[in-house]
């Protein structure tokens, strides 16, 4: 058991930053949800550690667990609730010097969970179409289609200038 904990700790030390960044993108730019995704992923990795460490498939398993958890989380009813307000809030001018990365993250957050997962895995994690299809349990054609639709949506959102926060038009 002590060896297991030490090995798991070493893995965690080497991959924690990458896992947090991937979770941040999968969660639509919400650090709190990203932390929850990482915690869920780490708990499942720890349970399966002896098998994963022996097979050498820890990173693949971690990505699969994280993507599935992100998609499951986005389907929960409390994430889709709408709030009704009496009047629309005033939309201020975006501060100057806003980094383009913020716009990309906001645009990414507006994609449906499935498209976001495909875009993150293909272009952030740099997985092939076949690897992404295997990880998500979908056909390669579906992965290509989702990637194409996701990139088209990102281009459209980013072509109009600054991407506004959710709920702003």
pLDDT above 60: residue 93: no
Tell me what pLDDT residue 169 has.
43
Looking at the domain that runs over 100-159, which CATH code has it been given?
Answer: 1.10.10.10
Contact 22, 66 (CB under 8 A): yes
Are 2-79 and 100-159 in the same CATH fold?
no
Residue 104 has pLDDT above 60, yes or no: yes
Percent of the chain scored above 70 by pLDDT?
78
What mean pLDDT value characterizes the chain? 82
Domain extents in the chain: 2-79, 100-159
Contact call for residues 138 and 71 (beta carbons, < 8 A): no
pTM of the predicted model as reported, rounded to 2 decimal places: 0.55
Query: Under CATH, what is the fold of the domain 2-79?
Result: Rna Polymerase Sigma Factor; Chain: A (1.10.1740)
State yes or no: pLDDT of 79 exceeds 60: no
> What DSSP line would sit under 105-125, residue for residue?
HHHHHTS-HHHHHHHIIIIIS
Q: Which residue has the higher pLDDT, 2 or 50?
A: 50
> Nearest-CA neighbor of 42 among 7, 3, 8, 80?
8
Token pair in block for residue 138: 């979908």
Residue 86: is it exposed, middle or buried by C-beta count within 10 angstroms (0-12/13-18/19+)? Answer: exposed
Neighbours of 98 (CB within 10 A): 11
């Amino acid at each position: 058991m002590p060896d297991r904990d030490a090995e798991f700790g070493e893995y965690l030390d080497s991959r924690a930053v990458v896992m947090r960044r991937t979770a941040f993108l999968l969660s639509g730019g919400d650090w709190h949800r990203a932390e929850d995704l990482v915690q869920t992923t780490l708990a499942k990795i720890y349970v399966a550690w002896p098998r994963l460490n022996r097979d050498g498939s820890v990173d693949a398993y971690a990505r699969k667990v994280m993507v599935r958890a992100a998609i499951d989380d986005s389907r929960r009813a409390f994430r889709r609730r709408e709030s009704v307000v009496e009047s629309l809030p005033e939309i201020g001018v975006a501060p100057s010097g806003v980094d383009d990365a913020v716009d990309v993250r906001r645009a990414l957050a507006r994609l449906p969970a499935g498209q976001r997962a495909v875009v993150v895995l293909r272009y952030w994690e740099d997985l092939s179409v076949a690897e992404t299809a295997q990880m998500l349990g979908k056909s390669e054609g579906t992965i290509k289609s989702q990637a194409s639709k996701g990139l088209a949506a990102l281009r459209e959102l980013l072509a109009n200038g600054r991407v506004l926060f959710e709920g702003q038009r």
